Structure 1
């Protein structure tokens, strides 16, 4: 495959670990990622696509310190039962839309078991069994 063929499939991405913080629920998009990969103007809303294929609108907030995904982010966390120590990869699809892959504290990718609601993510081990977490959900800062 040559570089042009590879570029057709390449989606720039950034990652974040979830760290519990009191009364904060936002994701800062790294300034270098923004400068390098996002050419569109900053919108009012961005879209997050979860592992289930569902979409979550998330408000984009710009300050002198950076650009953040804010309102709607906490709902994404709740709908996917995300907890402290888990790891997310945000792949940029264009037009301020991100595919989000979720990895448990064990490093294994979370999957949606057959028969589960489409808008809920459930952690699983490498054999597809549901993994229960001992941490309690809360507010997160990335």
Structure 2
């Protein structure tokens, strides 16, 4: 079987067979059925495990169980984690390309048919953080001065206790940060922050521009927000108060409706 080669996280040759899946309201996150006409590509190499390789700069991969039921083939255990980790949203769609040996390459496209760009993990380190402006797709490293870590944390704790409150809507995958708070405390770009609940458990959540072009001036919580919402049983209509306790850490107070 012909293989696809890769360069910089992208597909160069597209010779492997493909199928696609559209994410719709009520999408089953427990398993994914392989289209019947696609099964013939797998029969000679079928096994009980498959690897899903996300074709972007993160080069992430997931292992899923493969199950056969009444002649149908499904991705089972592990598929839910793929859905959760990638915060798949309504009307996004996935293109699956079969390489060989139960290896699948996957590209994710948004509802406008634009390929979703996932940036490398950019959790804050003392040596620098990565950001991206709305006008550029090039990641820029911002060097930070070496400072005494403990003094810096104490200063943050004293000065950065800022809050905003949001009534959670029906969008399970994103939460917009209010304009005033966004402009003051969240620089435009693509990076990761930490959300803490009242039990001090932590979740990493991506921050991305809340706009489609260079005119965007606010941000939203994206990948990881769905996991935080699910794990904390946050429903539509609940009120969340976000308290900025460090430059990239927020304590979330949850008030059920």
Provide the TM-score with structure 1 as the length reference: 0.71
Match of 1:110 in 2: 116
Measured in 1, the distance between the counterparts of 2:103 and 2:135 equals 28
Contact 1:47 1:97 in 2 (8 A): yes
Return structure 1 stretches of 4+ with deviation > 6 angstroms: 133-136
Measured in 2, the distance between the counterparts of 1:17 and 1:134 equals 23
Q: Does 1:34 align with 2:36?
A: no
Match of 1:17 in 2: 22
Contact 2:29 2:79 in 1 (8 A): no
Query: Deviations 1:13-54 (Å, cap 9, x if unpaired)?
Result: 10000123376521111121111x224343111110013211
Measured in 2, the distance between the counterparts of 1:55 and 1:20 equals 25
Query: Deviations 1:85-106 (Å, cap 9, x if unpaired)?
Result: 2100000010111001000122
Aligned length: 126
Provide the secondary structure at the position in 2 that maps to 1:102. Answer: strand
Contact 2:50 2:102 in 1 (8 A): yes
Contact 1:43 1:60 in 2 (8 A): yes
**What is the root-mean-square deviation in Å for CA atoms of aligned residues?**
3.4
Which of structures 1 and 2 has the larger relative contact order (alpha carbons within 8 angstroms, sep 6+)?
Answer: 1
Match of 2:47 in 1: 43
Query: Deviations 1:44-80 (Å, cap 9, x if unpaired)?
Result: 1111001321110001111015101011011111111
Provide the secondary structure at the position in 2 that maps to 1:19. Answer: coil
Contact 2:22 2:94 in 1 (8 A): yes
Provide the TM-score with structure 2 as the length reference: 0.42
Provide the secondary structure at the position in 1 that maps to 2:83. Answer: helix
Contact 1:83 1:137 in 2 (8 A): no
**Any stretches of 5+ residues in structure 2 without a counterpart?**
6-12, 124-133, 138-188, 190-207, 211-219, 228-257
